[in-house]
């Protein structure tokens, strides 16, 4: 884009200096082609003007419905969001316990997880009296 073209386009959106205006005017007088392009772009700008656009009549209702849903879901999600770290750490600890129980006892029964299978009713008294 040459300097005159730039001036031509800029004249439509910004104020030119006196010197720039004179230069452009002279160029337009000397070049009917340039004048024709200016006329084209002026007409194009007129045609481009929007008549406006409206959303459908149920637009507001749809947005408000979604927002109300969001609010409800937000309240439900809140406890998990607030205690997310604690929840994740808790689940990780439980998973680690299960893996350790599986490795050392070869089973995921309640007894093996809690260590109760090493205690039986016969030595419970001794366990409670001496080992505990």
Partner 1 sequence: MGVQLELSDIQLIEKVQEGDLSAFEIIMSRHKPKVAAVIMGMLGDADATEDVGQEVFIRFFRTIDKFKGDSELSTYLIRIAINLSINEINKRKRRHYVSFDDLYSSDSSDPHDRENSPDNRDLREILDRAIQTLDSKYRKVIVLRLVNGYSTKETAEILDLPLGTVLSRLARGQKKLQEILKPFYNNEATHLNTL
**Quick check: helix, strand or coil at residue 22?**
helix
x-marked contacts with partner 1 along 9-48 as a string, rule CB under 8 A: xx-xxx----------------------x-xxx-xxxxxx
Residue 56: CB atoms within 10 Å:
8
Q: Interface with partner 1 by CB under 8 A: which range of 27-35, 63-71, 106-114, 119-127?
A: 63-71
How many helices (H) and strands (E) would you count in the chain?
7, 0
Looking at 19-27, 49-57, 89-97, 116-124, which segment touches partner 1 (CB under 8 A)? 49-57
Query: How many residues comprise the chain?
Result: 132
Between 54 and 131, name the residue whose CB sits nearer to partner 1: 54
Count of residues near partner 1 by CB under 8 A: 34
Find the shortest distance in angstroms from Cβ 25 to partner 1: 18
Query: Which letter, b or e, does each residue of 97-126 get, where b requires 16 or more Cβ atoms within 10 Å of its Cβ?
Result: eeeebeeeeeeeeeebbeeeeebeeeeeee
Segment 64 to 123, residues that bind partner 1, using CB under 8 A: 64, 66-68, 70
C-alpha span between 4 and 33 (Å, rounded): 12
Which chain residues interact with partner 1 by CB under 8 A?
A: 1, 5-6, 9-10, 12-14, 37, 39-41, 43-50, 52-56, 59-60, 62-64, 66-68, 70
């Amino acid at each position: 884009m040459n300097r005159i073209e730039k001036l031509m386009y800029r004249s439509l959106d910004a104020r030119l200096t006196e010197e720039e205006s004179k230069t452009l005017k002279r160029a337009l007088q000397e070049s009917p082609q340039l004048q024709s392009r200016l006329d084209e772009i002026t007409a194009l700008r007129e045609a481009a003007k929007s008549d406006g656009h409206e959303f459908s009549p149920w637009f507001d209702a749809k947005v408000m419905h979604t927002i109300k849903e969001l609010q409800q879901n937000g309240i439900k999600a809140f406890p998990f969001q607030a205690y997310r770290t604690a929840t994740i750490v808790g689940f990780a600890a439980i998973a680690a316990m299960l893996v350790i129980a599986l490795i050392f006892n070869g089973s995921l029964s309640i007894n093996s997880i809690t260590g109760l299978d090493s205690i039986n009713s016969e030595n419970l008294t001794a366990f409670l009296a001496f080992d505990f």
